[in-house]
Every structure is written in C-alpha cells, then in structure tokens.
Amino acid sequence: VVDRHLEHLFDQNDDLHHRERVDAEILDKAEVVVGVLQFRAEVGLDEALDDADEALRRDANSFEAFLLRGRLYQQQGDSERALADFASAQALSPKSEQPYLSRAETNLRDGKTDDAVADCDAALRLNPNSYPAYLCRAHAYIQMGKSDRAIEEISRASRAAQ
C-alpha cells in the first residue's frame, strides 16, 4: 500500500522519477514516511493513523509525525490522544507555535475555552504575529460571551496578516 502511495508521490514530483533509488534505507527515513502520511491523511483516516504509528516506530522523535497523528486523533474526536501527541510534539520542538495552536483548537472544540486561550497566549509568546492564534483566541472569547474581546482579537489578527 505504501508503494502505491509512493508511486503517486513520484508521479507528482519530477525530482522523484528515479524509483529505483527508493529502497529500504530510504523508506526507513521518517521524512519519506511523513510525506506518505500527509498524502494518506487525504485518503483515509484509519490508514493515516496506521502510517503515523509506523512513522513513530521508525523515529520516536519525529515532531511532524506526532503533530500529524495528533491532528488525525483530533479529526476522530479523540481529544485525549490528540492532546498527548501535541504535548510530545511540543517537547520535541519547544520553540514551535504549532503544537500550541493544535492544542488550542482541540480545547476549543471541547469547550475548554480558558485552556484554549492559554494555549493561544503561549503560541503568541513564540510568534507575536501569529494570525491563527489571534483568530483562535477570538473564537474562544466568542464562546465565552466576550464579544468585545473577540473583536479586539480579530483586529489583531488583521494587523498580523498584513
């Protein structure tokens, strides 16, 4: 199954036409597996989760695989596992805002607005111009019934996007 998806990736990218170069050694590299994961995420959630597990078996320190698997769990509605994977991604790359943003989205979906705001605050400490963090925080404020604060956040998002 992975070979079929790799063939598709090869067809999509002229630089990868030399299929004979893809052997067991290259397949062991997490970057290739993560590329397949991203393709698979569009194909099927269960297959993508299986591939994410495989990527993490091959490289237990793959920031991208933890982040992607967390997002897949998030799509499945498994917030507990999603948050655990986002925490692992955060530990592997503490200067990245992405795990905080993903955690904020999960907390927002679960109605944990205070936690979502705290995660957005953490993302904004890392990147004060994070458009997604301002928008997520605005959504949290809307859920809290704080429309004035939400409007301020949307304004900040607009400035960050410029």
pLDDT of residue 27: 42
For residues 3 and 149, the model is more confident at 149
Q: pLDDT tens across 46-79, in order?
A: 888 999 999 999 999 999 999 999 999 999 999 9
Sequence-distant (≥ 6) Cβ neighbours of residue 33 within 8 angstroms = 27, 51, 54, 55, 58, 59, 65
DSSP letter (8 states) at residue 101: H
Sign of the CA dihedral running 17, 19, 21, 23: positive
Interval 2-53: pLDDT, tens: 444 444 444 444 333 333 333 344 444 445 555 655 555 556 888 889 999 9
Q: What's the pTM value of the predicted model, to 2 decimals? A: 0.72
Cα–Cα distance between 146 and 162 in angstroms, integer? 25
pLDDT digits (tens, 9 = 90+) for 94-142: 999 999 999 999 999 999 999 999 999 999 999 999 999 999 999 999 9
What pLDDT score was predicted for residue 5? Answer: 42
Is-contact 55 33, C-beta < 8 A?
A: yes
Whole-angstrom CA distances from 137 to 74, 86, 102, 104 are 18, 18, 12, 8
